[in-house]
Structure 1
């Protein structure tokens, strides 16, 4: 009953017209094209971002220990090897985590910052279109916001990798039990189950931050939650489905090689970007209907 009342209050009781409205807004605001732009520049920034990640892991290794760094490196290389199945690119990625690239690092950072700023500029444009707002911020201010969101995304990916995938803080249940001084057994099972809700919560929090900071629109934090929930569940679903597809089609991917692997990565980034931008359209539509309800009262 509460859900029905909430949906009726938002004007969403009939999902058919609501979905049709979202589809119309997605088409009108060129969400597919902007998601493709984000995916292209995201793919362009992958290897420079990996070099930045390798450098950051080197510094973090002094705090969390070399075991976490080694495990994180293995996770990244294993992920890349599932896409760029040719051994040459995989070895190149692995060498990023083993070598010292002092001079190359500056160029890589500049390339990554440029590509990320272009990609997140497309995100800003899409979210402004969702709210039917003109972009009144200066070009420099918009690029500063885009670069900040891009660097924040790299740091967020690093934290997700260290905390949820490889690190002792939210790693396996045995490691956490030892870290906190608890006995293993039931705690290990409990913590391994807790890791997924914690990861989902982190994704929702990051999506809320994106929806709050990217558009030129003052929004309350709670009004960013519907799109953030949609994005977080969508990101997990897309990533899990894509991972399953790559495992099934692994033989065909061997034939595609490095070029095909790059296309696969671009498609994956495109789907993630599309989910993010559609979540923005969802927030804008719900916000519009809430404002319409308030005007009628």
Structure 2
């Protein structure tokens, strides 16, 4: 089980790396249709400690380039980047769907068009969820700065900034849990698990990912020297490894859910026999 899962996670990391910059273009374009694109770069700070420094700088530079594009050209960018990003990113999603079948011991029974449609739907849903999360994160600092005036209290120095940071991480965790629950619910072929059976793995995967991402970022920044080993490619190697860790954690949560569900079903059969 671990061997195939690890190989599929590596495949997901490859496709995710290819899709990263087209996906960022799509995200900026969709977000810019309804909100101020200048706020995107500010929200990136939430991810600073979860992404290797060199990789974060590359992503930040790309975002800064995109937000400087005039708003009038966002619609054209949306059409071009969405087509490229959805094809590339959906390939990574399809790899995850195949890995979920392995985790649940399921055989792919969906036809070609249903499988492709599901992968595209999940990919686009993930992008829209990120846009929604970013929009909410823009409103969080405003809300926390208004609360002292509404409640007529004087907050301690630095408490508002800390509250905003914690609220941002909490929002990210909630959105990730919801995304994982949907993925574990509809991903495996011919398998319709109850929501209570997919929640434990989704919660575990979210918190493991937060710890693993922060730990990997610290490792790359302070211990491993990807730049010395890989030269100019060090940042991209770090990005691919970051995606590998992320995909592996997602599949770990799926296997955890599969074991819990199998245990619950076996226990139910034993009770019925008695």
Match of 2:119 among 141, 146, 151: 146
* CA-CA distance at 1:135 after TM superposition: 1.0
For residues 238-264 of structure 1, the C-alpha deviation after alignment (integer angstroms, 9 at most, x for no partner) is 221133234326976488565221111
Select the residue among 85, 95, 115 that pairs with 2:65. Answer: 95
Q: What's the Cα RMSD here?
A: 3.1
Contact 1:172-1:192 within 8 A present in 2 as well: no
Q: Tell me: CA distance 1:92–1:196, structure 2 relative to 1, closer, same or farther (3 Å).
A: closer
1:51/1:105 contact within 8 Å kept: yes
Post-superposition offset of 1:84: 4.3
Give the 3-state SS of the residue equivalent to 1:219 in structure 2.
Answer: coil
| 1:256 to 1:182, Cα distance in 2 relative to 1, 3 A | farther
Q: Does structure 1 residue 294 correspond to structure 2 residue 268?
A: yes
Q: TM-score, normalised by structure 2?
A: 0.81
- Partner in structure 2 of residue 70 of structure 1: 38
- 1:54 is the counterpart of 2:28: yes
SS at match of 2:188: coil
Find the counterpart in structure 1 of residue 209 from structure 2. 235
Provide Cα deviations, 1:253-290, integer angstroms capped at 9, x if missing partner.
48856522111111101101000011111111111111
The CA deviation at 1:191 is 6.5
Range moving further from structure 2, 44-53 or 243-252: 243-252
Alpha-carbon offset, residue 129 of structure 1: 1.7
Shift of 1:171: 3.2
Distance in structure 1 (CA, Å) of the matches to 2:166 and 2:63? 31
Moved over 6 A (4+): none
In 2, distance between residues paired with 1:176 and 1:193? 17
Q: Distance between the aligned counterparts of 1:171 and 1:263, measured in 2?
A: 34
The total of aligned residue pairs comes to: 260
Listed as ranges, the gaps of 5+ residues in structure 2 are none
Return the offset for 1:115: 1.2
- Contact 2:52-2:217 within 8 A present in 1 as well: no
CA distance in 2, matches of 1:81, 1:224: 30
CA contact 2:26–2:77 (8 Å) conserved in 1: no
Deviation at 1:223, TM superposition (A): 0.4
Extract unaligned runs of 5+ from structure 1: 1-24
Distance 2:109 2:263 in 1: 24
Q: TM-score with structure 1 length normalisation?
A: 0.75
TM superposition shift of 1:213: 1.5
Aligned to 2:183: 210
C-alpha separation in 1, matches of 2:245 and 2:135: 24
Q: Distance in 1 between matches of 2:227 and 2:151?
A: 44
